[in-house]
Amino acid sequence: MRSEVTRLTARKRELEGVARENEQLQAQIQASSGNQLPAGYIRKAQAQFSGYSTPENTFQSFLTALKNHDSTMLLQSLTPGSAEKLQSHLQDANQTDAFFKHMDMIPGMALQNRQQLPDGSIQFDAEVAPGLPKQTMQLQLIGGQWKLDLPF
């Protein structure tokens, strides 16, 4: 029993740092975004399922899946390779819940610097909020639908 209390106390201390970091990031996002969101910014709270007929629709459907904690829709928005990798990380309900809670901090995305690559895929710089680092993301056309290839 004591070892369990010790373990839980240590875990609580670890999580206190995460909560502070989350608060700081939320404050940074709020301070940096204000009313000046980048062109093409899709707010997760306003995202709706749009299908996969365009890269932009796929991003909106991806954000909708995150907003609704819908793992089926999330996996459908990904390339088969990315879906397989994500599924391997989300082995049980606890891991899935933790993943979606972590993703709750993303307020939305702006898609910038669209490039058509020689293999036919599309590449974007995704910006979560102004001032935060951009993430390069690719989409591939698979069976007539654009699918997001997550950088793992």
Q: For residue 122, what pLDDT is reported?
A: 95
All structural domains of the chain with their residue ranges: 1-35, 37-149
DSSP 40-107: TEEEGGG-----SSSHHHHHHHHHHHHHHT-HHHHHHTB-HHHHHHHHHH--SHHHHHHHHHHHTT--
Answer yes or no: is pLDDT of 77 > 70: yes
pTM value is 0.73
Q: Which long-range contacts (CB under 8 A, 24 or more apart) does 28-33 make?
A: 28/129, 28/131, 28/132, 29/105, 29/107, 29/128, 29/129, 29/132, 32/129, 32/130, 32/131, 32/132, 33/107, 33/129, 33/130
Structure confidence at residue 145 as a pLDDT band (50, 70, 90): very high
Q: How confident is the model at residue 19 (pLDDT cuts 50, 70, 90)?
A: low
Q: How far apart are CA 147 and CA 54, in angstroms?
A: 9
| DSSP 3-state of 131 | coil
Quote the CA–CA distance of 34 and 71 in Å, as a whole number.
30
pLDDT of residue 34: 53
pLDDT of residue 36: 63
Is pLDDT above 90 for 128?
A: no
* pLDDT 10s digits, 82-127: 999 999 888 877 888 888 998 888 888 888 899 999 999 999 998 8
**Which residue type, as a one-letter code, is found at position 102?**
H
pLDDT at site 35: 54
Summarised one tens digit per residue, pLDDT across range 20-64 is: 677 667 666 665 545 566 777 888 989 999 999 999 999 999 999
Task: Give me the pLDDT at residue 29, please.
Answer: 63
150 phi and psi angles, rounded to 5 deg? -70, 140
Q: Which CATH number fits domain 37-149: 3.10.450, 1.10.260, 1.10.3470, 2.40.10?
A: 3.10.450
